[in-house]
Structure 1
Amino acid sequence: MTYDRLVCANCAAPVSEGRCPVCRASRERLQQQTGWSGLPALSPAALAILLILLLAALALLAARTA
């Protein structure tokens, strides 16, 4: 789960905005858990599309060298 969809129970704002100390602490904790501190988490659909694009690029490269 990504923190951009979470809503803070303390201030009722999105956790990603970090409006209150509780939001900021939760955001930091989630970023440390994921290990992707500066990069947004990708959805499974986005990962599937990237994999398909990578396979298509590899197929084109293999067709050119053969």
Structure 2
Amino acid sequence: MTYDRLVCANCAAPVSEGRCPVCRASREQLQHQAGGIFAQLNPVALVALLIVLITVGALLHQIA
């Protein structure tokens, strides 16, 4: 789950908007934790990337 879908218990607003200090602190902490190379990609983009890599691998296998 990404932090843009989380709701703050303090102000009942989405954490991604950062309306209160609790939201801003939570948003900063979650952004710091999710610093991986594929962290910002959504699942559809990851599946598309996987399909492209499999296709390239199959093409390279046929050439060799």
Give yes or no for TM over 0.5.
yes
Structure 1 residue 60 displacement after superposition: 4.7
Q: Does 1:3 align with 2:3?
A: yes
Evaluate the alpha carbon distance shift between residue 41 and residue 47 of structure 1 in structure 2; reply closer, same or farther with a 3 A threshold: closer
Amino acid at match of 2:46: L
Unaligned runs of 5+ in 2: none
The answer to whether the Cα contact below 8 Å between 1:2 and 1:41 also exists between their aligned partners in 2 is no
Structure 1 residue 35 displacement after superposition: 1.2
Identity of aligned residues (%): 68
Which residue of structure 2 lines up, in the alignment, with residue 55 of structure 1? Answer: 54
Amino acid at match of 1:51: L
Provide the C-alpha distance between the structure 2 equivalents of 1:41 and 1:11, rounded to a whole number of angstroms.
28
Size of the alignment, in residue pairs? 62
TM-score, length-scaled by structure 2: 0.71
TM-score, length-scaled by structure 1: 0.69
Evaluate the alpha carbon distance shift between residue 41 and residue 2 of structure 1 in structure 2; reply closer, same or farther with a 3 A threshold: farther
Structure 1 residue 53 displacement after superposition: 1.9
C-alpha offsets along residues 6-65 of structure 1, whole Å, 9 cap, x if unaligned?
0001111110111110000000000111115xx62422x4312211023224445666x6
